[in-house]
């Protein structure tokens, strides 16, 4: 009788742990594994986020103004080569009707300070996200432009592979 009880208890605990692990995994990877409505990537030549690319524009279209959207920026970099550990950023979101909104954030590239850094599986490359506009409601359909301003003081910044903007329906 005790053996059956322990077997059933073990199965219930195992099922509960599996469910919890699945829910946590889905939540932690939700940004990385989502289907994005718009995804635009700028690759840095010679892995150098140079002074000439200090300001980058990314365009995307919004058709459904009833929904809320997440707008994020994702940086892929080489952890063995990256010359910066903290990259301050400013953002301008321009709407089709000429309105602008501003935001600031930064990329933390030190795994000790930022546990959300994901290894890409390609050498020592990693990816980190900044959620620029969470659950943003766009009032006007049409073309939007997200302008990213890199505020790092160095002219050349080695080890940076690409910068991607992603726009998706908020969860």
Residue 58 and residue 93 in one domain: yes
Low-confidence ranges of the chain (pLDDT < 50): 5-6, 8-30
pLDDT of residue 133: 96
pLDDT digits (tens, 9 = 90+) for 116-165: 999 998 889 999 999 999 999 999 999 999 999 998 877 778 899 999 99
The whole domain housing 17 covers 1-30
| Count of structural domains within the chain | 2
By three-state DSSP, how is residue 45 classified? helix
Neighbours of 87 (CB within 10 A): 21
pLDDT of residue 123: 86
pLDDT of residue 110: 87
Residue 43 and residue 22 in one domain: no
Tokens of 105: 């954030």
Residue 56 and residue 136 in one domain: yes
pLDDT of residue 129: 95
Residue 80 and residue 153 in one domain: yes
Q: Tokens 């707008």 appear where? A: 71
Residue 96 and residue 21 in one domain: no
Residue 108 and residue 76 in one domain: yes
Q: Find out whether 76 and 87 touch, Cβ atoms under 8 Å.
A: no
pLDDT of residue 33: 58
Residue 115 and residue 155 in one domain: yes
Q: Residue 43 pairs with which residues in a beta bridge?
A: 162
pLDDT of residue 131: 95
Chain mean position to CA 156:
23
Residue 73 and residue 96 in one domain: yes
Residue 67 and residue 11 in one domain: no
pLDDT of residue 11: 41
pTM, entire model:
0.78
Residue 24 and residue 94 in one domain: no
pLDDT of residue 74: 97
């Amino acid at each position: 009788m005790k053996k059956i009880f322990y077997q059933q208890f073990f199965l219930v605990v195992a099922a509960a742990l599996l469910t919890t692990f699945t829910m946590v995994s889905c939540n932690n990877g939700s940004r990385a594994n989502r289907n994005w409505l718009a995804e635009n990537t700028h690759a840095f030549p010679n892995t150098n986020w140079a002074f000439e690319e200090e300001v980058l524009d990314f365009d995307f279209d919004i058709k459904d103004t009833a929904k809320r959207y997440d707008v994020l920026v994702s940086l892929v970099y080489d952890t063995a080569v990256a010359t910066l550990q903290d990259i301050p950023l400013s953002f301008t979101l321009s709407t089709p009707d000429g309105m602008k909104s501003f935001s600031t954030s930064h990329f933390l590239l030190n795994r000790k300070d930022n546990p959300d850094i994901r290894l890409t599986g390609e050498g020592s490359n990693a990816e980190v996200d900044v959620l620029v506009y969470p659950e943003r409601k766009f009032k006007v359909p049409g073309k939007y432009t997200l302008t990213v301003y890199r505020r790092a003081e160095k002219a050349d910044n080695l080890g940076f592979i690409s910068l991607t903007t992603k726009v998706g329906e908020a969860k």
